[in-house]
Each structure stands twice: as C-alpha cells, then as structure tokens.
Amino acid sequence: MLELTEFQQDAVAELLNIGMGTAAASLSEMVKQKVDLSIPCVEIMLRRHAVEHIRDTVGNEVTAVKETFKGTFWGDAFLLFPESQSLELVRALLQEDALPLDMLSEMEQEALTEVGNIILNACLGSLANIFEQSFHCDLPRYAQGSCDIIFNRNLAATRSADAVLLVRMNFSLKANNINGLLTLMMDVESMQALTDLINTTFGMID
C-alpha cells in the first residue's frame, strides 16, 4: 500500500500534466508571454523523508502557496519555490522593474498566490475530474519561511499527515527556468483513498 507502480506514477504524472497544460495556457494568456509547465515525475513518500527531500531540492528557505482540499481524498497542496527564485519568477511574470528588496512586496505576494492558485487548481481539478469526485478547494494562502515551519503548521490533516505525494515541476519562461515542487500532503487514510482511486482508474488497464 501507499505505493504506486511505475505505470501508475506515469499515469498520475500524465494526468497532472494535463492540468499543467491548462494552467500554462491561462498563465501565458495572463502574463502575455509563453509559459511552459511540466511534470517529470511523481512519487509517494513518508513526510519526514519528503521534508528532507524538499530541503535538498529547493533549500530550507522556501516560498509556498498552499491550498487545502476536501473530498474523497483530502489534505494540503503546496506549490514550493526556493525563496530567491520566487522573486525571479514573479518579477519575470510581471515584467516590472525589480524592486530593490530581497523579499516579495505584498502586491507581489498576492500575484504569486494567484499563480500558485492557477497551477494548484489545474492539478487538483484534473485529479477531481478524472476520479469524478466532488471536491472542495479552499482559498490559496501565501507562506514563506523554513521547510519545518511550513510543513508542520496549519496543515488540514495535522494528526497524521504522514504521506506525501511529491511532484516535481519545471516552470520555464522565455528567459528564466525555474524549478519548483508540487506536493500533496495527506494523512494515511486520505492517501489510501487516493491510491485506491488511482488503482481503480488505472489499475484495470494494468
């Protein structure tokens, strides 16, 4: 349990890539430049491993957009960027002169929240669509700080949010290539529900 076969992983990645495609289209339209989003791989792991993994990938200081979702499976979805790259991303998207600040202004935080919202909604929406489940996503929240603070606080499934669906993503713009991470943090039951859904949907084919 809590494991996906290689095929299932590919299937989920493909599924999410559809969502990413939609998100990229919306973002491109919104920022009037070509935005490409892609998901090279998907894996499930325990939270403590995931936090380490995230730290290795994006560093300890991160910028995150969080959405809490409820439905047949439930949990918190995070879009994560290294702190420095979040500045680069927002400023590239907004195509404004950079502010001489090493953190995002409140308006820029809102803008990044919207970008995260579009991506997270597209991904969660494509999952919900495929599984034909009723789904409820809360408003996105902006968070910034160390991995520990972000992953150990304000989680919807605080009691046992032990499993993480870890999705790497690339965010590429005309002049910038930014690596981010998309993670779905769920407790064991919720993850079980999701893997069951994946099994039912893609397992038949397997």
Partner 1 sequence: MDFKQQTELDLVEQSPAAVDFDLEKLACDVIDKSDIGIFILGRDKSIVCWNSWMAQMSGIKGDHATGKTLEQLFTGFSNLRLQQAIDDALLRGMSAVLSQKFNPHSLPLYKSPEDRKKKQLMSQMIMVKPIHNGGNYSLVQVIDVSPASARDKMLRHQANEYKHQELHTRAILSSIADAVITLDVDGRVDYMNIVAEKLTGWSFQQALGLPWDKVLSVIDKKEALMSEPVGHCLQKSQAPELGELELELQPKSGANLAIELSMAPICDQNHETLGVVAIFRDVTNARQLARQINWQASHDTLTALLNRRAFDDKLAEMVNNVRHQNNSHALLYLDLDRFKIVNDTCGHAAGDELLKQISRLLAANIRANDLLARLGGDEFGIQLLDCPAEAAANIANMIRIAIQQFRFSWGEKIFNIGVSIGVVEVTPSCESAEDILCKADAACYAAKKSGRDQVHFYRSENCAAVYHQGEMEWFPRIQRALAEDRFTLYAQKIVPLADMNKSIHFEILVRMLDEDGKLILPGEFIPAAERFGLMTKIDKWVISHVFKLIAKENTRLSGQGYSFAINLSGCTLSDEQSLAFINEQLAYFNIPPGMISFEITETAAISNLSSVNHFIRNLQQSGCKLSLDDFGSGLSSFAYLKNLPVDYLKIDGLFVKNMALDVIDRAMVKSINEIGHVMELKTIAEFVENDAIIACLKEIGVDYGQGYGIAKPQPLTDVNGSLLLT
Close Cβ partners of 89 (under 8 Å, ≥ 6 residues apart): 81, 112, 115, 171, 173, 176, 178
Binding of residue 114 to partner 1 (CB under 8 A): yes
- Going by the DSSP 8-state scheme, the letter that residue 160 receives in this structure is T
Stretch that binds partner 1, among 43-51, 89-97, 156-164, 178-186 (CB under 8 A): 89-97
Binding of residue 132 to partner 1 (CB under 8 A): no
Burial of 136 (0-12, 13-18, 19+ CB in 10 A): exposed
User: Which is closer to partner 1, CB of 100 or CB of 175?
Assistant: 100
User: Which is closer to partner 1, CB of 82 or CB of 116?
Assistant: 116
Stretch that binds partner 1, among 49-57, 100-108, 163-171, 189-197 (CB under 8 A): 100-108
* Closest residue by Cα to residue 145 from 106, 103, 111, 179: 103
Q: 42-46 and 61-71 as β-strands: parallel, antiparallel, unpaired?
A: unpaired
Give the span between the Cα atoms of 142 and 113, in whole angstroms: 6
As measured in angstroms, the least distance from the Cβ of 42 to partner 1 is 21
As measured in angstroms, the least distance from the Cβ of 68 to partner 1 is 9
Phi, psi dihedral angles at 204 (to 5 degrees):
-60, -40
Q: Which residues bind partner 1 (CB under 8 A)?
A: 26, 29-31, 67, 71, 93-94, 96-97, 99-101, 105-108, 110-111, 113-115, 117-118, 121, 124-125, 128-129, 134-140
